[in-house]
Structure 1
Amino acid sequence: MAKAKKDKPVILITNDDGITAPGIKALYEAVKDLGQIVIVAPDKPQSGMGHAITIGHPLRLQKTDLFPEIESYSCSGTPVDCVKLAVDKVLHRKPDLCLSGINHGPNHSINVIYSGTMSAAMEAAIESIPAVGFSLMSYSANADFSAAQHYARLVTEKMLKDKLTKHVLLNVNIPDYPLSEIKGYKICKQAYAKYKESFLERKDPSGKKYYWLTGEFINFDNARDSDVWALANSYVSVVPVEFDLTDYALKKKLEKQWKDKTDRSVKKPIKKIVKKSMRKSE
């Protein structure tokens, strides 16, 4: 990669829908003048890959001409692989910001765990690179990304200006409405919701069984500060996310209730240690 222009931030763009997806092109167009852009994205769709990495076979990185104005590469691996390779083999440094998306479909509530879009951003945050994942609430191949572009640029500008901590990670979801119908954005919490899943059983032409995962999204959280509520009420949701999964309240409780009585790592009184050392010196 060529040396970054003076005072111009280096911005890494990736996604999980693949380098040819309309969403990544929309994201690039939205922020291309805000820094020196480099794109490294999967060579095929990788939705639902979560934080998977490739360890069983080699990775391939191919330079593309899909974005003639900048350096762009397709990667044979997962979204997380893309971030790792971008830092180590393309940029040879940590970028100033990592943008992931714009994803086709929501990544609110429990989806953040399964999302390749958010896992790419999370990998960047783990590596001390401020990051954000953008998702549009539409699966349509002809989705209108104009409102998502507006908010992607707005959030990116704020992140570059406010100099947030190096581990900052944001999950941004945009309703599938025209910009004029979106009320604004809300800083939210992740809603408590899940999928009630089932598998459709079918048979292939040879008579062997196969299964399709399906399910119904169920929201258990009616709080007005949740991402699901915000999106249902025509707001863009912005959720600060952590990759530390420790339940600190439970940790504190268990330290008291589950105190290990067999723990023998009790320090000897300082006075005894001092006396013993004095006798040795005599």
Structure 2
Amino acid sequence: MSKPLILVTNDDGITAPGLRALVKSLQEIGEVVVVAPDSPQSGMGHAITLDNTLYSKRVIIDTAEDAAKEYSCSGTPADCVKLALQELLDRRPDICVSGINHGSNASINVIYSGTMSAAIEAGIEGIPAIGFSLCDYSWEANFAPAQKAIKKIVSEALQNGIPKGVVLNVNIPKTAQGGIKGIKICRQARANWKEKFDKRTNPSGKDYYWLTGEFQLLDKGEDTDEWALSQGYISVVPTQFDLTAHHAIQDINTWNLNEY
């Protein structure tokens, strides 16, 4: 039987060390094709390109004989998945894997994440998908300790499937003295960003702003992704892209909306 086809993408750009580490891990499992942004696209969420031209080209970053086939794309992470599925791949991928992101996408960060939006785009198309993130923003982050777990999670997803309408958000703790303790299936922690803008003035007298902020964890539960990461575990959160608040439908049906 042929190897499973694995579509790999990210939001840090095609040359990011996290993506290189991911490709290396997944080549032991299947046939890897990379379609990734040609420049960093962090925080893009699920943005897509509508009013600009998209460009894509075959690139050679790894010169090894068995290197993965790779394409750079001028668009967003979601664009990369759309273009891969519609134009660049010879067949439908068995799974889409996004990452490894430089920095956490746990808790509320999933809303803003280009890494997870790429995985969600694949999920919308009915393709099993996983986003991986390492809780270390450094370009020189050590991805090696996570590679065994990544191969295990992807292999299990290929073997068992991922529930329909679900994408996995996997976050990996920055390894401390004791290393990674294990893997925990979690819920998304309740948290937000207390944001501020650093206002400055340029030499021509025009004001400009830098977004800053502080992460606020509002959840003390011991079943959340943030708790698992703080204890040295990899967190796996099943994430859905159906944003309907089903629990609220009954309450809102009590509103008097028939007369307007």
**Native 8 Å contact 2:166 2:241 kept in 1:** no
* Aligned position for 1:250: 248
Report SS of the residue matched to 1:29. Answer: helix
Instruction: Answer whether contact 2:172 2:229 (CA < 8 A) is retained.
Output: yes
Match of 1:181, SS state, is: coil
Structure-1 separation of matches of 2:197 and 2:256: 43
> How many residues end up aligned between the 2 structures?
257
Residue aligning to 1:272: none
What is the letter of the counterpart of residue 187 of structure 1? I
Question: Could you list the per-position Cα deviations for residues 120-152 of structure 1 after superposition, in whole angstroms to 9, with x for gaps in the alignment?
Answer: 000000000000000000011111001222221
Bigger radius of gyration? 1
> Do the aligned partners of 1:129 and 1:166 also contact (CA within 8 Å) in 2?
no
Check if 1:38 corresponds to 2:33.
Answer: yes
The alpha-carbon deviation at position 27 of structure 1 amounts to: 0.3
Within the candidate set 18, 23, 26, 2:21 is matched to 26
Corresponding position of 1:10? 5
Q: Normalised by the size of structure 1, how large is the TM-score?
A: 0.87
Once the two structures are overlaid, the 10-residue window that deviates more, 113-122 or 146-155, is: 146-155
Q: Distance in 1 between matches of 2:140 and 2:181?
A: 23
SS of 2:240's partner is: coil
CA apart distance, 1:249:
0.8
Deviations 1:63-88 (A, max 9, x none): 00013422100000000000000001
Q: Secondary structure at the match of 1:80?
A: helix
Q: Which residue of 1 aligns with 2:220?
A: 222
Q: Partner letter of residue 67 of structure 1?
A: D
**Aligned letter for 2:19?**
I
Check the 8 A contact 2:9/2:81 in 1, yes or no: yes
CA offset at residue 180 of structure 1? 4.6
Q: Are 1:75 and 2:73 an aligned pair?
A: yes
1:26 CA drift (Å): 0.3
Query: What does residue 55 of structure 1 align with?
Result: 50
Q: When you count helix as a share of all residues, which structure comes out higher?
A: 1
Check if 1:233 corresponds to 2:231: yes
TM-score, normalising length: structure 2: 0.95
Query: Any idea what SS the aligned residue of 2:107 has?
Result: coil
Q: For each residue in 1:17-75, what CA deviation from the matched residue of structure 2 results, as whole angstroms up to 9, or x when unmatched?
A: 00000000000111112111100000000000000000001100010001342210000
In structure 2, what is the equivalent of residue 267 of structure 1?
none
1:18 partner amino acid: G
Amino acid at match of 2:245: D
Distance 1:210 1:171, change over 3 A: same
Is 165-174 or 81-90 further displaced after alignment? 165-174
- Unaligned residue ranges in structure 2 (runs of 5+): none
Gap runs ≥5 in structure 1: 1-5, 264-282
Call closer, same or farther: CA 1:181–1:33 in 2, change over 3 Å: closer
Counterpart CA distance in 1 for 2:225 and 2:152 is 18
Task: Give the conservation status (yes or no) of the 8 Å contact 1:147–1:179.
Answer: no
Native 8 Å contact 1:102 1:134 kept in 2: yes
Could you tell which deviates more after superposition, 151-160 or 49-58?
Answer: 151-160
Q: 1:8 is aligned with what amino acid?
A: K
Q: Which amino acid aligns with 1:258?
A: W
Shift of 1:167: 3.5
Alignment-derived partner of residue 186 in structure 1:
184
Percent identity of equivalent pairs: 54
CA distance in 1, matches of 2:6, 2:165: 15
Task: Report SS of the residue matched to 1:110.
Answer: helix
The within-5 A match list for 1:90-129 is 90-129=88-127
